[in-house]
Structure 1
Amino acid sequence: MSESGSEMSYADVVASGPQQSAEEARANPVDEVIPTDQSVESLIDVNTGVAVVPNDFLEQEVQTETQAKRIELEEAAAAEAAEAAEAEKKAEKREARKEKASDKASDKAAKKEKAKTLAQNPIIQANGVLFAIAAIALGFGAYRKHQAGQLTWKLAGLWSVGVATLVGGDYCLSNFLWKKYPFSKK
Protein backbone atom coordinates (compact mmCIF):
# COMPACT_ATOMS: atom_id res chain seq x y z
CA MET A 1 0.00 0.00 0.00
CA SER A 2 1.09 3.46 -0.58
CA GLU A 3 1.17 6.34 1.82
CA SER A 4 -1.41 8.31 -0.08
CA GLY A 5 -4.06 5.89 1.08
CA SER A 6 -4.94 4.55 -2.32
CA GLU A 7 -4.85 0.84 -2.74
CA MET A 8 -2.75 -0.82 -5.40
CA SER A 9 -2.98 -4.34 -6.64
CA TYR A 10 -0.12 -6.74 -6.31
CA ALA A 11 0.36 -6.73 -10.09
CA ASP A 12 0.68 -2.91 -10.04
CA VAL A 13 3.25 -3.04 -7.27
CA VAL A 14 5.34 -5.65 -9.13
CA ALA A 15 5.08 -3.73 -12.38
CA SER A 16 6.32 -0.52 -10.73
CA GLY A 17 9.46 -2.24 -9.40
CA PRO A 18 12.78 -2.94 -11.19
CA GLN A 19 12.72 -5.35 -14.15
CA GLN A 20 14.26 -8.84 -13.82
CA SER A 21 17.05 -9.96 -16.02
CA ALA A 22 16.56 -13.06 -18.16
CA GLU A 23 18.82 -15.04 -15.86
CA GLU A 24 16.76 -14.10 -12.78
CA ALA A 25 13.48 -14.93 -14.51
CA ARG A 26 14.70 -18.45 -15.31
CA ALA A 27 13.70 -21.22 -12.84
CA ASN A 28 16.30 -22.82 -10.65
CA PRO A 29 17.86 -25.96 -12.13
CA VAL A 30 16.56 -29.34 -10.90
CA ASP A 31 19.06 -31.56 -9.19
CA GLU A 32 19.81 -34.77 -11.15
CA VAL A 33 20.34 -38.19 -9.64
CA ILE A 34 23.21 -40.02 -11.15
CA PRO A 35 22.46 -43.71 -10.72
CA THR A 36 25.13 -46.11 -9.67
CA ASP A 37 24.73 -49.78 -8.92
CA GLN A 38 24.65 -49.15 -5.20
CA SER A 39 22.18 -46.30 -5.37
CA VAL A 40 19.73 -48.23 -7.60
CA GLU A 41 19.64 -51.24 -5.28
CA SER A 42 18.65 -49.13 -2.34
CA LEU A 43 15.68 -47.53 -4.16
CA ILE A 44 12.19 -48.88 -3.66
CA ASP A 45 10.56 -50.23 -6.85
CA VAL A 46 7.51 -48.10 -7.45
CA ASN A 47 6.38 -50.13 -10.49
CA THR A 48 5.51 -53.32 -8.60
CA GLY A 49 1.75 -52.68 -8.93
CA VAL A 50 1.89 -51.51 -12.54
CA ALA A 51 1.19 -54.12 -15.21
CA VAL A 52 2.29 -53.74 -18.79
CA VAL A 53 -0.41 -54.66 -21.30
CA PRO A 54 -0.13 -55.45 -25.01
CA ASN A 55 -1.09 -52.87 -27.64
CA ASP A 56 -4.32 -54.70 -28.59
CA PHE A 57 -5.55 -54.74 -25.00
CA LEU A 58 -8.72 -52.74 -25.73
CA GLU A 59 -9.65 -54.98 -28.66
CA GLN A 60 -9.37 -58.17 -26.57
CA GLU A 61 -12.67 -59.83 -25.67
CA VAL A 62 -11.57 -60.52 -22.09
CA GLN A 63 -9.44 -57.78 -20.60
CA THR A 64 -9.19 -58.69 -16.92
CA GLU A 65 -9.03 -61.78 -14.74
CA THR A 66 -12.31 -60.71 -13.14
CA GLN A 67 -14.01 -60.71 -16.53
CA ALA A 68 -12.54 -64.13 -17.30
CA LYS A 69 -13.81 -65.53 -13.99
CA ARG A 70 -17.25 -63.99 -14.57
CA ILE A 71 -17.43 -65.50 -18.05
CA GLU A 72 -16.41 -68.90 -16.66
CA LEU A 73 -19.09 -68.66 -13.97
CA GLU A 74 -21.73 -67.63 -16.53
CA GLU A 75 -20.77 -70.53 -18.81
CA ALA A 76 -20.91 -72.95 -15.88
CA ALA A 77 -24.33 -71.58 -14.85
CA ALA A 78 -25.59 -71.89 -18.43
CA ALA A 79 -24.33 -75.48 -18.61
CA GLU A 80 -26.03 -76.30 -15.30
CA ALA A 81 -29.25 -74.70 -16.52
CA ALA A 82 -29.08 -76.72 -19.75
CA GLU A 83 -28.50 -79.93 -17.77
CA ALA A 84 -31.40 -79.09 -15.48
CA ALA A 85 -33.66 -78.37 -18.45
CA GLU A 86 -32.63 -81.67 -20.08
CA ALA A 87 -33.28 -83.56 -16.83
CA GLU A 88 -36.68 -81.84 -16.53
CA LYS A 89 -37.52 -82.81 -20.14
CA LYS A 90 -36.59 -86.43 -19.43
CA ALA A 91 -38.69 -86.41 -16.26
CA GLU A 92 -41.66 -84.96 -18.16
CA LYS A 93 -41.30 -87.62 -20.87
CA ARG A 94 -41.07 -90.34 -18.23
CA GLU A 95 -44.15 -88.94 -16.49
CA ALA A 96 -46.02 -88.76 -19.80
CA ARG A 97 -45.16 -92.40 -20.53
CA LYS A 98 -46.37 -93.41 -17.07
CA GLU A 99 -49.61 -91.48 -17.57
CA LYS A 100 -50.06 -93.00 -21.01
CA ALA A 101 -49.47 -96.50 -19.65
CA SER A 102 -51.86 -95.76 -16.80
CA ASP A 103 -54.44 -94.44 -19.27
CA LYS A 104 -54.01 -97.54 -21.44
CA ALA A 105 -54.42 -99.77 -18.41
CA SER A 106 -57.53 -97.91 -17.28
CA ASP A 107 -58.90 -97.93 -20.86
CA LYS A 108 -58.23 -101.64 -21.09
CA ALA A 109 -59.97 -102.23 -17.76
CA ALA A 110 -62.93 -100.07 -18.89
CA LYS A 111 -63.16 -102.02 -22.16
CA LYS A 112 -63.10 -105.32 -20.26
CA GLU A 113 -65.85 -104.10 -17.96
CA LYS A 114 -67.93 -102.94 -20.94
CA ALA A 115 -67.43 -106.31 -22.68
CA LYS A 116 -68.58 -108.14 -19.54
CA THR A 117 -71.64 -105.90 -19.36
CA LEU A 118 -72.46 -106.40 -23.04
CA ALA A 119 -71.98 -110.17 -22.78
CA GLN A 120 -74.80 -110.23 -20.23
CA ASN A 121 -77.17 -108.41 -22.62
CA PRO A 122 -79.83 -110.80 -24.05
CA ILE A 123 -79.82 -109.03 -27.46
CA ILE A 124 -76.06 -109.59 -27.82
CA GLN A 125 -76.42 -113.21 -26.68
CA ALA A 126 -79.21 -113.85 -29.25
CA ASN A 127 -77.06 -112.31 -32.01
CA GLY A 128 -74.16 -114.56 -31.06
CA VAL A 129 -76.33 -117.69 -31.17
CA LEU A 130 -77.91 -116.63 -34.50
CA PHE A 131 -74.55 -116.05 -36.19
CA ALA A 132 -73.09 -119.27 -34.81
CA ILE A 133 -76.02 -121.29 -36.22
CA ALA A 134 -75.77 -119.44 -39.57
CA ALA A 135 -72.01 -120.10 -39.81
CA ILE A 136 -72.48 -123.82 -39.03
CA ALA A 137 -75.35 -124.13 -41.55
CA LEU A 138 -73.39 -122.37 -44.31
CA GLY A 139 -70.30 -124.41 -43.66
CA PHE A 140 -72.17 -127.74 -43.59
CA GLY A 141 -74.21 -126.82 -46.71
CA ALA A 142 -71.10 -125.73 -48.62
CA TYR A 143 -69.31 -128.97 -47.64
CA ARG A 144 -72.24 -131.13 -48.88
CA LYS A 145 -72.46 -129.21 -52.16
CA HIS A 146 -68.69 -129.53 -52.64
CA GLN A 147 -68.80 -133.30 -52.01
CA ALA A 148 -71.64 -133.61 -54.52
CA GLY A 149 -69.73 -131.43 -57.02
CA GLN A 150 -72.51 -128.87 -57.16
CA LEU A 151 -70.68 -125.93 -55.46
CA THR A 152 -70.37 -123.08 -58.02
CA TRP A 153 -69.59 -119.40 -57.91
CA LYS A 154 -73.19 -118.63 -58.71
CA LEU A 155 -74.34 -120.61 -55.64
CA ALA A 156 -71.69 -118.92 -53.44
CA GLY A 157 -72.89 -115.49 -54.65
CA LEU A 158 -76.52 -116.36 -53.83
CA TRP A 159 -75.53 -117.48 -50.35
CA SER A 160 -73.55 -114.22 -49.88
CA VAL A 161 -76.68 -112.24 -50.74
CA GLY A 162 -78.61 -114.33 -48.20
CA VAL A 163 -75.96 -113.64 -45.51
CA ALA A 164 -76.03 -109.90 -46.25
CA THR A 165 -79.84 -109.89 -45.98
CA LEU A 166 -79.64 -111.79 -42.68
CA VAL A 167 -77.07 -109.31 -41.28
CA GLY A 168 -79.12 -106.28 -42.38
CA GLY A 169 -82.31 -107.67 -40.88
CA ASP A 170 -80.51 -108.57 -37.65
CA TYR A 171 -79.08 -105.04 -37.41
CA CYS A 172 -82.51 -103.45 -37.82
CA LEU A 173 -84.15 -105.80 -35.30
CA SER A 174 -81.29 -105.43 -32.75
CA ASN A 175 -81.34 -101.65 -33.07
CA PHE A 176 -85.10 -101.59 -32.51
CA LEU A 177 -84.84 -103.88 -29.47
CA TRP A 178 -81.87 -101.94 -28.06
CA LYS A 179 -83.84 -98.69 -28.11
CA LYS A 180 -87.06 -100.25 -26.82
CA TYR A 181 -85.45 -102.33 -24.03
CA PRO A 182 -82.23 -100.59 -22.98
CA PHE A 183 -80.02 -102.90 -20.97
CA SER A 184 -78.23 -101.72 -17.88
CA LYS A 185 -76.18 -103.81 -15.48
CA LYS A 186 -77.92 -104.22 -12.16
Structure 2
Amino acid sequence: MSYAEVASKGPKQTPEEAAAPQPPQVVVDDSTSTSSLIDVDTPSVRTVPSDFAEQDIQTETQADRIEREEAAKKVREKAEALRAEADLAKKKAKSKAKKADTWLTKRFENMGDGPAGALAAANLIAVIGLSGWLGFKAWGLYERGRLSWKDVGLGLGVLGAVGAVEGAFTNYLYKAKGKGKDQ
Protein backbone atom coordinates (compact mmCIF):
# COMPACT_ATOMS: atom_id res chain seq x y z
CA MET A 1 0.00 0.00 0.00
CA SER A 2 1.34 3.48 -0.85
CA TYR A 3 1.52 6.55 1.33
CA ALA A 4 -1.13 8.30 -0.79
CA GLU A 5 -3.59 5.44 -0.21
CA VAL A 6 -2.96 5.46 3.55
CA ALA A 7 -3.34 9.25 3.72
CA SER A 8 -6.60 9.18 1.74
CA LYS A 9 -8.18 6.83 4.31
CA GLY A 10 -7.53 9.21 7.18
CA PRO A 11 -9.67 12.18 8.33
CA LYS A 12 -10.22 14.99 5.82
CA GLN A 13 -8.75 18.48 6.33
CA THR A 14 -10.90 21.48 6.94
CA PRO A 15 -10.74 24.25 4.29
CA GLU A 16 -8.79 26.48 6.74
CA GLU A 17 -6.17 23.75 7.25
CA ALA A 18 -5.86 23.07 3.53
CA ALA A 19 -5.41 26.75 2.58
CA ALA A 20 -1.93 28.24 2.19
CA PRO A 21 -0.82 30.61 4.96
CA GLN A 22 -1.36 34.31 4.33
CA PRO A 23 1.78 36.28 3.42
CA PRO A 24 2.98 38.78 6.01
CA GLN A 25 1.58 42.30 5.59
CA VAL A 26 3.70 45.45 5.82
CA VAL A 27 2.08 47.94 8.11
CA VAL A 28 2.69 51.51 6.99
CA ASP A 29 2.42 54.15 9.66
CA ASP A 30 4.19 57.33 10.61
CA SER A 31 6.41 55.64 13.20
CA THR A 32 8.75 54.26 10.47
CA SER A 33 11.38 56.87 9.77
CA THR A 34 14.25 57.06 7.29
CA SER A 35 16.01 59.75 9.27
CA SER A 36 18.58 57.25 10.60
CA LEU A 37 19.76 56.39 7.06
CA ILE A 38 22.79 58.22 5.70
CA ASP A 39 22.16 60.66 2.91
CA VAL A 40 25.21 60.62 0.68
CA ASP A 41 24.52 64.11 -0.65
CA THR A 42 24.96 65.76 2.72
CA PRO A 43 28.34 66.82 4.12
CA SER A 44 27.94 64.36 6.99
CA VAL A 45 29.64 61.68 4.88
CA ARG A 46 33.38 61.78 5.61
CA THR A 47 36.06 61.28 2.99
CA VAL A 48 39.81 60.93 3.43
CA PRO A 49 41.72 64.04 2.33
CA SER A 50 44.32 63.61 -0.42
CA ASP A 51 47.20 64.63 1.88
CA PHE A 52 46.34 61.90 4.40
CA ALA A 53 49.69 60.09 4.09
CA GLU A 54 51.65 63.27 4.89
CA GLN A 55 49.60 64.17 8.01
CA ASP A 56 50.94 63.70 11.52
CA ILE A 57 50.57 60.26 13.04
CA GLN A 58 47.41 60.18 15.12
CA THR A 59 46.79 56.48 15.77
CA GLU A 60 48.74 53.34 16.56
CA THR A 61 47.56 51.82 13.29
CA GLN A 62 49.16 54.66 11.34
CA ALA A 63 52.38 54.27 13.31
CA ASP A 64 52.43 50.50 12.63
CA ARG A 65 51.80 51.08 8.91
CA ILE A 66 54.66 53.57 8.65
CA GLU A 67 56.94 51.21 10.55
CA ARG A 68 56.08 48.33 8.18
CA GLU A 69 56.66 50.54 5.12
CA GLU A 70 60.10 51.58 6.43
CA ALA A 71 61.03 47.95 7.13
CA ALA A 72 59.93 46.94 3.63
CA LYS A 73 61.99 49.79 2.17
CA LYS A 74 65.08 48.60 4.05
CA VAL A 75 64.54 45.03 2.80
CA ARG A 76 64.24 46.30 -0.82
CA GLU A 77 67.43 48.36 -0.47
CA LYS A 78 69.29 45.37 0.97
CA ALA A 79 68.05 43.12 -1.87
CA GLU A 80 69.19 45.68 -4.45
CA ALA A 81 72.62 45.85 -2.83
CA LEU A 82 72.89 42.04 -2.86
CA ARG A 83 71.79 41.94 -6.50
CA ALA A 84 74.44 44.52 -7.42
CA GLU A 85 77.05 42.51 -5.52
CA ALA A 86 76.03 39.32 -7.34
CA ASP A 87 76.21 41.08 -10.71
CA LEU A 88 79.72 42.29 -9.91
CA ALA A 89 80.82 38.77 -8.89
CA LYS A 90 79.30 37.41 -12.08
CA LYS A 91 81.23 39.93 -14.18
CA LYS A 92 84.47 39.04 -12.37
CA ALA A 93 83.92 35.33 -12.93
CA LYS A 94 83.16 35.94 -16.60
CA SER A 95 86.35 37.97 -16.91
CA LYS A 96 88.42 35.19 -15.30
CA ALA A 97 86.87 32.57 -17.57
CA LYS A 98 87.65 34.70 -20.62
CA LYS A 99 91.27 35.08 -19.45
CA ALA A 100 91.61 31.31 -19.03
CA ASP A 101 90.01 30.78 -22.43
CA THR A 102 92.43 33.25 -24.02
CA TRP A 103 95.42 31.64 -22.26
CA LEU A 104 94.50 28.14 -23.49
CA THR A 105 93.85 29.41 -27.01
CA LYS A 106 97.27 31.14 -27.06
CA ARG A 107 98.98 27.90 -25.94
CA PHE A 108 97.42 26.04 -28.88
CA GLU A 109 98.28 28.93 -31.23
CA ASN A 110 101.95 28.69 -30.29
CA MET A 111 101.90 24.97 -31.00
CA GLY A 112 103.07 24.14 -34.51
CA ASP A 113 101.07 22.16 -37.05
CA GLY A 114 103.00 18.95 -36.36
CA PRO A 115 102.42 18.79 -32.59
CA ALA A 116 98.82 20.05 -32.96
CA GLY A 117 98.03 17.32 -35.50
CA ALA A 118 99.67 14.70 -33.30
CA LEU A 119 97.67 15.91 -30.30
CA ALA A 120 94.41 15.72 -32.28
CA ALA A 121 95.30 12.22 -33.54
CA ALA A 122 96.15 11.07 -29.99
CA ASN A 123 92.85 12.46 -28.77
CA LEU A 124 90.94 10.60 -31.49
CA ILE A 125 92.80 7.36 -30.79
CA ALA A 126 92.10 7.69 -27.05
CA VAL A 127 88.36 8.18 -27.65
CA ILE A 128 88.18 5.23 -30.05
CA GLY A 129 90.21 3.07 -27.64
CA LEU A 130 87.98 3.94 -24.69
CA SER A 131 84.84 3.23 -26.73
CA GLY A 132 86.25 -0.13 -27.84
CA TRP A 133 87.26 -1.11 -24.32
CA LEU A 134 83.81 -0.19 -22.91
CA GLY A 135 82.14 -2.14 -25.72
CA PHE A 136 84.32 -5.20 -25.01
CA LYS A 137 83.44 -5.04 -21.28
CA ALA A 138 79.72 -4.66 -22.08
CA TRP A 139 79.84 -7.67 -24.44
CA GLY A 140 81.47 -9.78 -21.72
CA LEU A 141 78.76 -8.80 -19.21
CA TYR A 142 76.08 -9.56 -21.80
CA GLU A 143 77.43 -13.05 -22.50
CA ARG A 144 77.44 -13.86 -18.79
CA GLY A 145 73.89 -12.45 -18.43
CA ARG A 146 74.99 -9.75 -15.99
CA LEU A 147 74.54 -6.66 -18.21
CA SER A 148 72.04 -4.33 -16.54
CA TRP A 149 70.62 -0.94 -17.39
CA LYS A 150 72.79 0.51 -14.65
CA ASP A 151 75.93 -0.73 -16.45
CA VAL A 152 74.68 0.59 -19.79
CA GLY A 153 73.89 3.98 -18.24
CA LEU A 154 77.30 4.14 -16.59
CA GLY A 155 79.04 3.37 -19.90
CA LEU A 156 77.00 5.97 -21.76
CA GLY A 157 77.75 8.51 -19.01
CA VAL A 158 81.50 7.88 -19.36
CA LEU A 159 81.27 8.22 -23.15
CA GLY A 160 79.24 11.43 -22.78
CA ALA A 161 81.76 12.97 -20.38
CA VAL A 162 84.69 12.04 -22.62
CA GLY A 163 82.82 13.42 -25.64
CA ALA A 164 82.19 16.72 -23.83
CA VAL A 165 85.85 17.04 -22.85
CA GLU A 166 86.94 16.15 -26.39
CA GLY A 167 84.50 18.71 -27.82
CA ALA A 168 85.89 21.48 -25.60
CA PHE A 169 89.46 20.43 -26.40
CA THR A 170 88.80 20.38 -30.15
CA ASN A 171 87.00 23.71 -29.94
CA TYR A 172 90.10 25.37 -28.44
CA LEU A 173 92.33 23.71 -31.00
CA TYR A 174 90.21 24.94 -33.93
CA LYS A 175 89.90 28.41 -32.39
CA ALA A 176 93.67 28.66 -32.08
CA LYS A 177 94.30 27.41 -35.61
CA GLY A 178 91.59 29.70 -37.02
CA LYS A 179 93.23 32.73 -35.37
CA GLY A 180 96.64 31.69 -36.64
CA LYS A 181 95.38 31.57 -40.24
CA ASP A 182 93.73 35.00 -40.01
CA GLN A 183 96.88 36.72 -38.80
- TM-score if structure 1 supplies the norm length? 0.32
More RCO (CA 8 Å, sep 6+): 2
- TM-score if structure 2 supplies the norm length? 0.33
Q: Larger C-alpha radius of gyration, 1 or 2?
A: 1
